């Protein structure tokens, strides 16, 4: 049986991840679940409820909530890392500062992602170092954002660590493709995909008999995006995700031979995104007023009544990839999963040292990227620009370089000029005092 620690224990995603782990004990048997956060008050809003949930499922599973790294990282097999340095108020700053300059205001894309990357690197490295000190055989399944920049930082600064960077977005996308194509389960499809994190394209979707279904999906997407014909039946968490699903229509028009990761809307239709944003009430506000209140409220209720039997908290279906990944590493299942890995020739006409999101076969304590071959000019051009941004951010963090970060912002497809990039940078530096290295 395995022991796991959730780093970023105070995240609103923690309860649904615990429910998901408990729902999969037949696949991944657990003896211990620990929550670790450096914000004790925040973690305490969830910890009691999580303990009740765990104990009601199986009283033999040990439950620990701690702010002490040694307690957290001693005797663990898997670390599920979803830390958010600066928490949601800093996400709000990222989004609002970007919008103030007329640029896409988003958590992981554009200036917001760059600012968040500069905050996240130290936190992720710190957690890796604790893990290596206290449980050297542990695997970190890292989905801390912005995953692309974090992955480049781990590649460069902790190249031999047992860290796997992964994102749940493809799972969400594949769930909607499965719904559109009439499959019960996304795993009934065999997919091909290449790109960067939050920046990729599906090039094939086959059924188990090998029939290619991508043209059929694209035909649908040109009319309805990623929504089913009856939009209301889509499995979106809220209106904002439904809008994203709709916008896929425009993305597919631009290249009707592939189907995109919907995050590309921020790079390819930035003007539309800005036009539809409220600079005074951004996604961070929606999340704080919505998901955060709901999850903390429900956890407080569970703690008070002392049972989670009638809880409204739901299993995090998207998070099922975590169990799949841990199970593959532990039991050699050879499951095919999209991971963020060093390219090393997998995409033939792309730099070896870029972190790319591609299918890998995951087995006992290892993973093996599949070969992708050559990619088309349109995607290659976009990806080269974006990879350069990510690399410059990590350079800037390592070298404390104002210039490199200005270049990174200037190069981002979301930013119209070096002037705007500089104005953004100066505001972001001010807002991120205490979080960024001094430039
Ligand atoms: C997807 C992405 C995550 C991201 C999340 C944001 O799941 O893969 O990387 O953090 O969306 O969702 P939110 O509801 O917080 O805007
Ligand atoms: Mn993601």
pLDDT value of residue 387? 98
pLDDT of 139 over the 90 cut: yes
pLDDT value of residue 235? 84
pLDDT value of residue 319? 87
Residues in contact with ligand 1 by the CB-under-6-Å rule are 145, 167-169, 283, 287
Q: Mutation test of ligand 1: which of 107, 170, 245, 266 has the most ligand atoms closer than 8 Å to its C-beta?
A: 107
Ligand 1 atom nearest 283 alpha carbon: 16
Q: Which ipTM did the prediction report?
A: 0.99
pLDDT value of residue 381? 98
The stretch 52-68 carries a mean pLDDT of 98
How far, in Å, is the centroid of ligand 2 from the Cα of 167? 4
pLDDT band with cut points at 50, 70 and 90 for residue 164: very high
What does the alpha-carbon distance between residue 10 and residue 36 come to, in Å, rounded to a whole number? 8
pLDDT value of residue 53? 98
Residues 169-204: tens digit of each pLDDT: 999 999 999 999 999 999 999 999 999 999 999 999
**263: annotated active-site residue:** yes
What does the alpha-carbon distance between residue 265 and residue 76 come to, in Å, rounded to a whole number? 39
**352: annotated active-site residue:** no
What does the alpha-carbon distance between residue 240 and residue 214 come to, in Å, rounded to a whole number? 25
pLDDT value of residue 318? 80
Residues 6-16: tens digit of each pLDDT: 999 999 999 99
pLDDT value of residue 61? 98
Q: Mutation test of ligand 1: which of 91, 116, 142, 167 has the most ligand atoms closer than 8 Å to its C-beta?
A: 167
- Here the tokens at position 297 are 């409220």
Q: Mutation test of ligand 1: which of 14, 16, 90, 145 has the most ligand atoms closer than 8 Å to its C-beta?
A: 145
Ligand 1 atom nearest 143 alpha carbon: 9
The stretch 265-274 carries a mean pLDDT of 98
Tokens 């009283």 appear where?
Answer: 59
Helix, strand or coil, per DSSP, at residue 432: coil
Name which residue sits closest to atom 10 of ligand 1, judged by CA.
Answer: 145
Cβ neighbours around 298 below 10 Å, total:
17
- Here the tokens at position 152 are 């480049």
pLDDT of 309 over the 90 cut: yes
- Here the tokens at position 307 are 């049972």
The stretch 388-398 carries a mean pLDDT of 99
How far, in Å, is the centroid of ligand 2 from the Cα of 143? 7
Q: Which residues 6+ apart lie within 8 Å of 89 measured at CB?
A: 284
Q: Confirm if 171 and 320 have CB atoms less than 8 A apart.
A: yes
DSSP secondary structure letter of residue 30? E
How far, in Å, is the centroid of ligand 2 from the Cα of 168? 5
Report the candidate in 321, 338, 348, 353 with the shortest Cα–Cα distance to residue 159.
Answer: 353
The stretch 208-237 carries a mean pLDDT of 96
């Amino acid at each position: 049986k395995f022991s796991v620690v959730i780093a970023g224990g105070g995240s609103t995603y923690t309860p649904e991840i615990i429910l998901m782990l408990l729902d999969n004990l037949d696949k991944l048997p657990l003896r211990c679940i620990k929550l670790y956060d450096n914000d004790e008050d925040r973690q305490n809003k969830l910890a009691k409820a999580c303990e009740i949930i765990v104990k009601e499922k199986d009283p033999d599973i040990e439950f620990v909530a701690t702010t002490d790294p040694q307690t957290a990282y001693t005797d663990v097999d898997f670390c599920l890392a979803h830390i958010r340095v600066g928490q949601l108020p800093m996400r709000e700053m990222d989004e609002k500062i970007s919008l103030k300059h007329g640029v896409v205001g988003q958590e992981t894309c554009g200036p917001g992602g760059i600012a968040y990357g500069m905050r996240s690197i130290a936190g992720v490295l710190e957690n890796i170092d604790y893990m290596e000190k206290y449980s050297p055989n542990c695997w970190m399944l890292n989905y801390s954002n912005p995953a692309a920049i974090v992955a480049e930082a781990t590649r460069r600064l902790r190249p031999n660590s047992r860290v796997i960077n992964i994102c749940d977005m493809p799972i969400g996308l594949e769930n909607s493709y499965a719904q559109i194509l009439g499959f019960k389960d996304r795993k009934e499809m065999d997919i091909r995909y290449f790109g960067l994190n939050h920046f990729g394209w599906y090039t094939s979707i086959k059924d188990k008999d090998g029939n290619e279904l991508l043209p059929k999906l694209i035909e649908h997407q040109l009319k309805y995006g990623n929504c089913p014909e009856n939009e209301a039946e889509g499995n979106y968490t809220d209106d904002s995700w439904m809008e994203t699903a709709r916008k896929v229509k425009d993305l597919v028009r631009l290249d009707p031979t592939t189907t995109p990761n919907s995050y590309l809307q921020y790079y390819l239709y930035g003007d539309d995104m800005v036009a539809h944003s409220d600079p005074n009430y951004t996604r961070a506000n929606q999340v704080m007023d919505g998901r955060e209140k709901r999850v903390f409220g429900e956890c407080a209720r569970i703690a008070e009544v002392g049972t989670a039997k009638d809880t409204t908290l739901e299993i995090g279906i998207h998070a099922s990839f975590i169990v799949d990944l841990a199970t593959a590493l532990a039991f050699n299942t050879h499951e095919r999963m999209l991971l963020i890995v060093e390219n090393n020739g997998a995409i033939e006409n792309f730099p070896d040292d870029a972190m790319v999101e591609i299918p890998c076969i995951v087995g006992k304590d290892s993973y093996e990227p599949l070969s992708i071959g050559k990619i088309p000019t349109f995607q290659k051009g976009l990806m080269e620009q974006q990879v350069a941004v990510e690399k410059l951010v990590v350079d800037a963090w390592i070298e404390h370089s104002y210039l490199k970060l200005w270049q990174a912002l200037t190069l981002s497809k979301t930013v119209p000029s070096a002037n705007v990039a500089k104005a953004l940078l100066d505001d972001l530096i001010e807002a991120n005092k205490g979080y960024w290295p001094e430039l």
